Structure formats: structure tokens, C-alpha cells
Amino acid sequence: MKRFAAFVFILVLVGAAAGAWLYIGVSRPYKGYEAAEQFVDIPAGAGPSSIGRRLADAGVVRDVNSFRFAVWLSRQGRRLQAGEYRFDRPVSAREVVDKIARGEVYVLPITFREGLTIKQMASLFESRGFGPADAFVRASKNVDLVRALDPEAQDLEGYLFPETYSLPRKATADQLVARMVSAFEKALTPDIRDQASARGIGLRQLVTLASIVEKETGSPAERPLVAAVYANRLRIGMGLQCDPTVIYALDRVGRYHGNLTREDLHFDSPYNTYRYSGLPPGPIASPGRASLAAAAAPADVPYIYFVSRNDGSHAFATTLDEHNRNVQQYQRQYFIDRRREAQ
């Protein structure tokens, strides 16, 4: 009887020792890979054993059992989330479980500022290492994404919302473009839609006007004023005579090289608002939320002219005489002063 009790006691001690060893083991940092960083992709629906095998094969945890024991201790087996995870230092199995349970997947940010064209966005997409620019351009031709919004769309110009997106390393252009269109739909709030509708402006007209506003000014205070200038011109049948539309027309055919000349203003394109009245056929860039709001509800002002003050702001005018005075003050005098400074 005493021998049996001693045997049981020894088993308990061994079990306790093994448990303690496992507990300490899953809490001890480990790094079994030589590279500076290691990525592990966990597919949707993978269980603890499958996840543990991937982590062990990658050298992130010592073995499958260590990971499974850490999962059992944490009681988070049902919270483990799919995605790609990055490891760049020794971590314990328990830390690995916590990381995956929190869903801390590895993502890379890409920021599209307001006023970019599809061509410029594609170049940025490539420069950040997500894929070739051509892939982004092809994805931006998927007009089915905006068919319900704009049946006339030939591409997604104007409908790719500018903001910062966090993407997995292997994100495709199609996935990103779909997210950008979804973000645009969210930015197009019911208030903006209602205000545009009340003014008799269709969605394509709204986005086109907003894109022009976006290209003309970066000042939040000026956006409603710039929108008012173009809305007033449209109302009285006056040509928009908007430089950014000409630049867009030239850039579409590879003829814009950074400077707009008088000859360029005669370039034959439906986007050239010096030659053709009304709005251009479609958006010329991606407007932000503020420009969409300004296009839907322009300021209640009589302005039909504006000119740059060369400091980021503009001088607005109602009459041509007033506008000419502003041009004299802010443009001609500016270039005279610049020539004097250069001498």
C-alpha cells in the first residue's frame, strides 16, 4: 500500500513538473528563423493544430504542442483570426496566440491625396510595391462597380475615394479599387445627395464639378466659393474656362509636360472647357469629401471670376473690370516683381 502511494506521489510530481515545464515553455520567448522577419499566412477556417504547424514550420514557435497548450491556457481557440502575420523578434507561444486572437494582421498603408487622377494613383500603387501600374489602370475600368451610381461611366475616374488604405502585402489592384469605390459611396452622404438633387444636379455632374473644385483650390474655406463661380457660369451659359480641364485633356494623350501654353488652350478635346461649353464629359480627378459637399451646396455669392494670389488663396470678383484689376494686382505685378528679383 505504501509502495502504491509512493508511486502515485511520484506520478503527481512528474505530472506537475511536466505541467510546469510546459507552462514555462509557452511563456519563454523563441525565435527559430534566421531572417530579420518572418511572415505566416493563416487561412480562414484553420484550427489550432493547423495554425500551430504553420507557425512551427516557420520557426515562430518551438512546436505544435507548445502552441496548442498556449491556446488552451488562453481559452482563445475560437478567436484565432485568419490573415498574414509578421514576426520580427523572439516571442512566446502565449504572445503568438494573443497576437492572432487580436487579429493583428500585417498591413501596409498607401495614401492617395485628393485631386489625383487614375494615372497618378496607378503610379503610386506601383511605387509602393503593390504591383504594376497597368494592373491598377485595368482595375479602374471595372465600371460595374459604379453602374448603379453612374450608368454613363467609361472608367472609375472620380469614383476612387482619396484616403489612406491599409492593405495586406498581397493585395491586388482589383481589391483596392473595390475598397476605394466603397469608400466613395460612404463619402457621398445622404445630405450631399439630397442637396445635389435639390439643385437639379445628377451624380455624374456633381462628381465632375467636385473634381474641378478639388483641382482649383486646396483651401477648405475657398471650396464653396470656387464651386459657386462655376455654378454661376453654368447658370448663365458662360464658358467654364478651367485650366485643370485642359491639363487633363492633354495628359490623357501624353501631351502635358508641366506648363500650360496659350496654344494648349486651343487643343481640341471635349474636356477643354475653353473650347466647349458646360461641364466636361466626366470627372478629371478624385475629389475629397469637402469638394463633394461644396459642389452640392456652393456658397450663395455672385462671383463668376477668380484669380490666384500666388500664396495658395484666390481673389474673387463679380465683374470683369474687378477681375482685371485683380489680375493686374496679383498676376502681372507678381511676375514683374519676380523678374526684378532675378536681375
pLDDT in tens, 234-286: 999 999 999 999 999 999 999 998 899 999 999 999 999 999 999 999 999 99
Instruction: Decide: residue 58, CB within 10 A, 0-12 exposed, 13-18 middle, 19+ buried.
Output: middle
- Mean pLDDT over 92-109 rounds to 96
Determine whether domain 22-102 maps to CATH 3.30.70.270: no
- Has this prediction a pTM greater than 0.85? no
Q: Are 115 and 214 in contact (CB under 8 A)?
A: yes
83: number of Cβ within 10 Å: 16
CATH of domain 108-187: 3.30.1490
Q: Read off the pLDDT of residues 12-35 as tens digits, 9 standing for 90 and up.
A: 444 443 444 455 668 899 999 999
CA distance 177 to 155: 11
- Mean pLDDT over 102-124 rounds to 97
CA distance 246 to 275: 10
Q: Are 38 and 87 in contact (CB under 8 A)?
A: yes
- Indicate the domain borders of the chain: 22-102, 108-187, 201-303
Say whether 108-187 and 22-102 share the same fold: yes
CA distance 260 to 243: 8
Q: Read off the pLDDT of residues 277-320 as tens digits, 9 standing for 90 and up.
A: 999 999 999 999 999 999 999 999 999 999 999 888 999 999 99
Percent of the chain with pLDDT over 70: 90
CA distance 68 to 29: 16
Q: Are 18 and 24 in contact (CB under 8 A)?
A: no
